[in-house]
Every structure is written in structure tokens, then in C-alpha cells.
Structure 1
């Protein structure tokens, strides 16, 4: 399994059990009503589009949680570029259990594969630059684990997982705190008071704000928000390697290469997880 601090057995099981409770409730009555209890069958995951496959490592966990008697054979692994007609895996065992697990497996894998596909595409547009592609917290509630995981599979980099593992002082934080210097000073006091060690990133909207961050110091990364490429180049020159830089705000497939060429270290794109077309997959009996 791809390594990330949030991909713990406990987190995965919590997600799967919550999702199954939502979908199955007190029973899959369609399968219970129509399929004999002792029926055994098999199915395969059929790819009906083109893209990057993701969620294969999650599927056996779902099948096992539904019924430990289900047996899955992997044919294509996460990160594989797939095309229409490919078979990703087969599963066999109690027919009722295959049907009960089917929708959760498909819902996860279709969306994860869509995210991985778009991540791989945008990453390819960064070729020849040092920029790395970041995701954001613009995720589907209760599905963040899978969406962040899919970004990794597609070759992207996870930004903070949530509000708890990194401090980002954005425009509203700065405005509410009374300014950049005040926000940074208050953050250091909070970290010292609570005994926490968390990286600090500060969002900036102008060269003047970049300079204020540089004057204050004591941070981990500077976000350059909604800046045009020429302004980004000036900001990167002003920062001069003292802190890693992150370009953010409305960046699309049409603008990402130009943004990367300005010399920023990271580019965050919310659309990686909030505006994705799922890859068409189907679980078919055979």
C-alpha cells in the first residue's frame, strides 16, 4: 500500500464501515431476496474508459469487510494506465456478498481513478520545471482519505491532510489578526504555549505582503495567491530561495505550465478533487 500517514488500518476500516453502514443499512435486500444463500459466483472489474487506475488496494479491504470468504485476484495495480476493455481484477465467492460490495468498490475506484488521471495529466504539464503539484482541502466530506490517496497514485503531492497537521495563515486569518506580523507572532505564541510543532505557511496577495512575511520570518512556506505569472516571477525573485513557494488560486490546465515556469516550488490545484470526472468502471459477472 502506498505510504502516507493518514493511510492507517484504523482510518481505512472506519471509512469502509461507515460507507457500508450508509449503503447497506440493515441488509442488501435485493441480493437477499433474489440470490440463494449458497450461490457462488465471480465477477471482474471492467475498464470502460482511459486513464490511471486507482483504488485497487482499497478494493480487497472492502470485499473482506463485507465477507472474508470473497477472494480477489489483482491483474492491474494502482497507477497503471488503462484503456477500454482492460480487466483490473477478478473476485469470486458468495454471490450475495459480491453484489453487496459492488457499489462501494465502484464508487471509490471510479472517483479515485478520475482524480489520479487528472493528477497525472497536470503533472505531465510541469515537465522541465521544478514545480510539484499539490492537492488542497477542497475534498468531499468523509471521502478525503480516498481523494488524497488518489492524488498520490497519480503522481501528485499531498498538502496538509486537515486543519490539525499544518498551520496556513490565509487572508481571513491575517485580516482577523490585524496583519501578517501579528498573525505570525500570535501563531508562534500559540505553538509555544501548547507545545506543538507545526509548519507555518502564510498566504500573500501582493509583493508588499511577501515582504512583510520575509521581515517577520519564522515560517515554513509562502503561498502566492491569485498572482499573475509576471508577479509570481517577481515574488520568487524577492523570496530568493529563503522559503519554499506555492502558487495557488484558479490555476487550470491552460495556465499551469506558465505558472510552473515562474520558478515556484509547488502549485496547488483545488480542481484535483472538487471538479473531477470519474473513470468509467463496471463490475461484471462472467
Structure 2
């Protein structure tokens, strides 16, 4: 696990898990109550190629219901796993295994899906120096979890929410009359926060470069204009001090060409909102190879 993908805040994981179990179990698992609550074993099967992410949430779901459960993982967080691989074995109370199964798998399939999609984009731009970023287009209540999964997949995080960075977009700039005026006001009110500025023309780009900010988002530039923006930002007197970001209209078919235009980072809402959940299955009994 890389330093950027260190384990998430346990308190946030616990809160996510408490909400998921409350939603699924309610006053009790009426079908699980039919079972003799004896010790049993189970195995976790990965049914498609993926990057595994979400182990802290998976573990917490089951340990909330059975603190003595034993979970033996056969892979690390962030490992690339082939379809048909048994990635964990479990030993615990039977009712906890079946009662926590769906919530645990929901976290694992969602976060592994986010990490896997991110890794595909990271692989697509490898060697260009361009960084893949996420956005705030996350599932409600799971922002920290999905942004963690993006890091597991090799991407990096954009701002977390509306409070930790200033991002001046088209409507903000229109209200102030110019990029320069908007940046000046933002710096006066929030001098210590990162400042990201969206520009729509090369003139606005120059205003942002001259006034100064943390990063510039070049919006809806075609490839020739994008390359010219990169040339301007890297030439004197700016010398590449302010990174350029691209967002919008990016997919796996286009991301490599955008990166090769020389931009520093590409933010992609689809990492967290166009979700393909990875197929996992938790089955009672020993794994087939035993």
C-alpha cells in the first residue's frame, strides 16, 4: 500500500458500516434466525479480474456482528486479482456470516469497482506524467470511501468537498466580471486555501497565470488550443509553476491523447459515478481446493 493510500479513518468506516447494517438488518435478520448459530467457515470468491479495495469496510461489517470472527486474506489491498480466485477464508458464527454478507460485499464490490476503473485510466496515461484525479461526483455518504478507492487504484484526490479548496468556475467568474477580479476576491477571503480556477479562453488562462492560483482547469479546449495552453503555461515568465487540469468529456478512448497534449492532470467524474461493481461471492463452507 502506497503512502497516499494509507488506511481510512476508522471512525468513518465504523459510521459507514453502522448505517449499512442498520439499513439491511433493521430489527433483525428473520431468515438468519432460522439457522443454528454454530461456528462455521466461509470463503470469499472473486469472480472477475479487478483491483481489490474495501477490506476495512468488509472486515468491519462482519466484526460488528461477530467480534471473534477470523478473516484470513490471501491478497493485499490494491492487489490485481484474476477471476476465479479465492481471496479470503473466514471462520465465525453462522448467523454473522450470512447476516453481514450483503453489506460487506456491497462495500467490497463498490470500492473494488472504483479502484479497478481508476487503475485502467492510470494505465492508459502511464509514461506521460499526467496524474488522474477524481471529482466530488461520489455516492452519497461514501465520499471518503470512494476517494480512498481512487488512491488504491493509483489515482489522486481532487478537493474533498466545498470547504477545503476554492474552485472558481464559470458562474463565479461571471459574477465578478473577470478571472482576475474573482481570484483577487478569493485570495482576500481565503488566503490559505488551495485555489483552482476554471478558464474558457486563452485570455482567461493568461489572467489566471498572471494573478496566480494553485491550479488552472482548462475547460472544453480542443486539442490544438489545449497544446497552446500548455505552451503558454510552461514558457516564460510562468515556467510551468501552475499545473493545468482537464476535465469533462474524458473516457478511456480519449484520455491518452489528452495526456499527450502535455497537461498535468485529468479529473474524471466517471471514476466514482459510472460504477461497475465487481462480482464477489461469499459462500459458506471450505473453499473448493480444500
Interval containing the TM-score (normalised by the shorter chain)? over 0.9
Corresponding position of 1:106: 105
Match of 1:204 among 184, 188, 199: 199
Corresponding position of 2:288: none
Segments of 4+ in structure 1 off by > 3 A?
A: 1-6
Corresponding position of 1:27: 28
Match of 1:213 among 200, 203, 208: 208
Q: How far apart, CA to CA, are the structure 1 residues paired with 2:230 and 2:7?
A: 32
Give the secondary structure class of the aligned counterpart of 1:159: coil
Given that 2:13 and 2:56 are in contact with CA atoms closer than 8 Å, whether structure 1 keeps it comes out as no
Give the TM-score normalised by structure 1: 0.92
Task: Specify whether residues 244 and 3 from structure 1 end up closer, same or farther in structure 2 by C-alpha distance, changes over 3 A only.
Answer: closer
Corresponding position of 1:145: 144
Given that 1:76 and 1:87 are in contact with CA atoms closer than 8 Å, whether structure 2 keeps it comes out as no
Give the TM-score normalised by structure 2: 0.91
Please list every run of 5 or more consecutive structure 2 residues that lacks an aligned counterpart in the other structure.
235-239, 286-290
Given that 1:57 and 1:78 are in contact with CA atoms closer than 8 Å, whether structure 2 keeps it comes out as no
Corresponding position of 1:269: 268
- Alpha-carbon distance, 1:109 to partner: 0.8
Tell me whether 1:239 sits opposite 2:233 in the alignment: yes
- Alpha-carbon distance, 1:242 to partner: 2.6
| Number of residue-to-residue matches in the alignment | 279
Given that 1:6 and 1:145 are in contact with CA atoms closer than 8 Å, whether structure 2 keeps it comes out as no
Task: Specify whether residues 106 and 93 from structure 1 end up closer, same or farther in structure 2 by C-alpha distance, changes over 3 A only.
Answer: same
Give the secondary structure class of the aligned counterpart of 1:10: helix
Offset from partner CA, 1:75-114 (integer Å, 9 cap, x none) = 1111111122101111211111111111111111111111
- Alpha-carbon distance, 1:67 to partner: 2.0
Q: How far apart, CA to CA, are the structure 1 residues paired with 2:184 and 2:159?
A: 21
Offset from partner CA, 1:141-196 (integer Å, 9 cap, x none) = 1111221111111111111111111111111222233321221122122125xxxx
In the TM superposition, 1:174-189 aligns within 5 A as 174-189=173-188
Tell me whether 1:86 sits opposite 2:85 in the alignment: yes
- Alpha-carbon distance, 1:57 to partner: 3.2
Corresponding position of 1:224: 218
Q: How far apart, CA to CA, are the structure 1 residues paired with 2:256 and 2:19?
A: 40
Q: How far apart, CA to CA, are the structure 1 residues paired with 2:12 and 2:275?
A: 24
Q: How far apart, CA to CA, are the structure 2 residues paired with 1:13 and 1:3?
A: 21
Offset from partner CA, 1:211-233 (integer Å, 9 cap, x none) = 1212322x111111122221111
Task: Specify whether residues 177 and 29 from structure 1 end up closer, same or farther in structure 2 by C-alpha distance, changes over 3 A only.
Answer: farther
Q: How far apart, CA to CA, are the structure 2 residues paired with 1:279 and 1:6?
A: 21
